[in-house]
């Protein structure tokens, strides 16, 4: 009888570990997506980790469009379009790509 209780405890531990892994995966994915859209990745990740699928649904409801990147004319690194200067080299004249066709 002791081994049966131990088996139940192990099964419960495995289920909790799987759920925490899935929750962490959701939180990381939402955090990465939030970062690419100029949103707070840590806040959205924490919200999604603790609320799981409900945090993901809330994130999708408040989703900002993805911020397009532009290349800095000074160093050539890719930076978000809404920056007024390059955070890497400090160059102030950011080359705006013309997206109108």
SS (H, E, C) 19-85: HHHHHHHHHHHHHHHHHHCCCCHHHHHHHHHHHCHHHHHHHHHCCCCCCCEEECCCCCCEEECCCCC
pLDDT (0 to 100) of residue 14: 94
| Close Cβ partners of 47 (under 8 Å, ≥ 6 residues apart) | 55, 58, 59
* pTM (global) more than 0.95: no
What's the CA gap between 78 and 69, in Å, rounded? 6
What's the CA gap between 58 and 39, in Å, rounded? 13
pLDDT, tens digit, 9 for 90 and up, residues 52-84: 888 888 888 887 666 677 888 888 888 877 778
pLDDT, tens digit, 9 for 90 and up, residues 35-60: 888 789 999 999 999 998 888 888 88
Contact indicator for 66, 37 with CB cutoff of 8 Å: yes
Task: Answer yes or no: do 42 and 60 share one domain.
Answer: yes
What is the span of the domain harbouring residue 88?
68-101
Task: Answer yes or no: do 50 and 83 share one domain.
Answer: no
Task: Answer yes or no: do 56 and 73 share one domain.
Answer: no
Task: Answer yes or no: do 54 and 22 share one domain.
Answer: yes
Task: Answer yes or no: do 13 and 61 share one domain.
Answer: yes
Task: Answer yes or no: do 8 and 28 share one domain.
Answer: yes
Task: Answer yes or no: do 88 and 45 share one domain.
Answer: no
Number of domains into which the chain is organized = 2
| Close Cβ partners of 89 (under 8 Å, ≥ 6 residues apart) | 72, 74, 75, 77
């Amino acid at each position: 009888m002791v081994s049966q209780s131990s088996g139940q405890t192990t099964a419960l531990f495995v289920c909790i570990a799987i759920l925490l892994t899935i929750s962490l995966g959701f939180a990381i994915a939402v955090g990465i997506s939030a970062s690419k859209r100029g949103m707070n990745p840590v806040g959205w990740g924490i919200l999604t980790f603790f609320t799981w699928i409900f945090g993901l649904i809330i994130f999708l409801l408040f989703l900002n469009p993805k911020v397009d990147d532009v290349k800095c004319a000074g160093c050539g690194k890719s930076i978000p379009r809404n920056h007024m200067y390059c955070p890497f080299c400090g160059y102030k004249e950011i080359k705006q790509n013309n997206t109108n066709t």
